[in-house]
Amino acid sequence: MTGPAADWLDNRTTATFDDYKTDFEARYKTPEVIKYKSARQIFTRRQEDGETTDDYSTAMIKLGKVINVSEDMLRYAILNGLKPDIATYVTQHNPQSLEELLTAARVAELTLPPARDTSLHAKVDR
């Protein structure tokens, strides 16, 4: 172990591996409240402007690991949060796995024209 975990280990006086394991889990296991927060985020988080599909999907996969979500549910959550033009492209390809979804999203990101900001264009047109 390194960093704070190594310091924690140095300060333990337990004798058996099972004792170390129990103490470690008590100290470092993700609290339930963090799991609730992650579960909420995984179904409400949206891909931000300027955020690549890879960055977005990486963040979503990390959230999914915290709450131990199935691959199918993670795939639906990612698709739900993609930018609308990318999500439309991905949906048309009917991905059956997370890898297929990510491949289609990358292709969409590279080939689709940038989405038009209608609010800005409406102001300019006036």
- Would you kindly state where each structural domain of the chain is located, as residue ranges? 1-30, 36-111
The overall pTM is greater than 0.75 = no
Higher pLDDT, 22 or 110: 110
Q: What is the pLDDT of residues 32-70, one digit of tens each?
A: 667 777 788 888 999 998 899 999 999 999 989 888 889
List the Cα angle 12/18/22 in 5-degree steps: 65
Give the model's pLDDT for residue 19.
Answer: 78
| Percent with pLDDT over 70 in the chain | 79
Residue whose C-alpha is closest to residue 93's, from 83, 80, 103: 103
